Amino acid sequence: MQLTNRSKQVADTKMTWMERIYLPGIIKGMIITFSHIFKKKPTIQYPEVQRPIAPVYRGQHVLKRDDAGAERCTACGLCAVACPAEAITMVAEERKQGEEKLYREEKFAATYEINMLRCIFCGLCEEACPKEAIFLTDRIVPTTYLREDYIYGKDRLVEKMDHRVDVSKRQTNNLADFKNNSSKAHNKTI
């Protein structure tokens, strides 16, 4: 198989006089390195310039709220079951009187933790979720020094009301049509 046409046949012949004085070879090499000064640099100056990210990039998770601001997650545990890396744990609790504004369903996740060191960012939790609660976003999980800091609780996973996370890019057209169909029970607002 030939990958490039730059390969050279190696021969064990005696070097000619021109090859043995090495100077032409050295000058040739020096010209090659000098020409690299004027080549375009592939470096990306990271904090100022960022690489374009695919719309379906799978980065840090978000737990969505609905339009009224109630948490969508009902702690059914399907995401934890689907997770191949067993990175998700949760504790379910029953919604009390007067918390209807906070939680959409009668059952909710009291704690919801994702271990980002275990997570392989496969996106199966997103696919498993029946409530459209968990999504992967194009945010990158920042590095820290302690292992404990990689266990993300609800404080860091649930989206903030004043800082909503747009996940519409991750939805296919079929899904968007489905969501706009208000006759489905799933899309009813309470």
Partner 1 sequence: MLSTEIIYKIILILAVFTVTLVVALYSTFAERKVAAVLQDRYGPNRAGPLGMFQPFADGVKMFTKEEFIPGNADKQLFILGPSIAMLTCLMTGAVIPWGGDLTIGDYIFKLQVTDINIGILYLLGVVSVGVYGIMIGGWASNNKYSLLGALRASSQMISYEIAMGLALIALVMMTGSLSLGEIVRQQDEGLANIVYQPLGFLIFLVCAFAETNRAPFDLPETESELVGGYHTEFSSMKLGFYLFSEYINMFISSALIATLYFGGYNFPFQHSLGIEGNALSIVQTVVFFGKIFFFIFFYMWVRWTIPRFRYDQLMKLGWKTLIPLAILNLFITGIVIGFKNGFFN
> Rounded to the nearest whole angstrom, what is the least distance from the CB of residue 32 to partner 1 in the complex?
8
Are the beta carbons of 112 and 83 closer than 8 angstroms? no
Nearest to 186 by CA among 132, 135, 136: 132
Are the beta carbons of 136 and 126 closer than 8 angstroms? yes
Cβ closer to partner 1: 30 or 120?
Answer: 30
Residues 26-55, mask of contacts with partner 1 (x by CB under 8 A) = x--xx-xxx-xx-xxxxx-x----------
CA distance 64 to 159: 6
Cβ closer to partner 1: 15 or 146?
Answer: 15
Cβ closer to partner 1: 6 or 40?
Answer: 40
CA distance 56 to 42: 24
Q: Does 147 bind partner 1 (CB under 8 A)?
A: no
> Rounded to the nearest whole angstrom, what is the least distance from the CB of residue 141 to partner 1 in the complex?
24
> Rounded to the nearest whole angstrom, what is the least distance from the CB of residue 39 to partner 1 in the complex?
5
Cβ closer to partner 1: 24 or 84?
Answer: 24
Residues in contact with partner 1, counted by CB under 8 A, come to a total of 14
> Rounded to the nearest whole angstrom, what is the least distance from the CB of residue 7 to partner 1 in the complex?
20
CA distance 32 to 26: 10
> Rounded to the nearest whole angstrom, what is the least distance from the CB of residue 18 to partner 1 in the complex?
15
Cβ closer to partner 1: 28 or 160?
Answer: 28
**What does the longest C-alpha to C-alpha distance in the chain come to?**
95
Phi-psi region of 143 (alpha: psi -120 to 50; beta: other; left: phi over 0): beta
Spatial neighbors of 100 by CB under 8 A, at least 6 apart, are 70, 190
Cβ closer to partner 1: 13 or 43?
Answer: 43
* Strand residue runs (E) in the chain: 61-63, 88-94, 107-115, 134-136, 151-152
> 182 is written with which tokens?
């208000």
Where do contacts with partner 1 occur on this chain (CB under 8 A)?
Answer: 26, 29-30, 32-34, 36-37, 39-43, 45
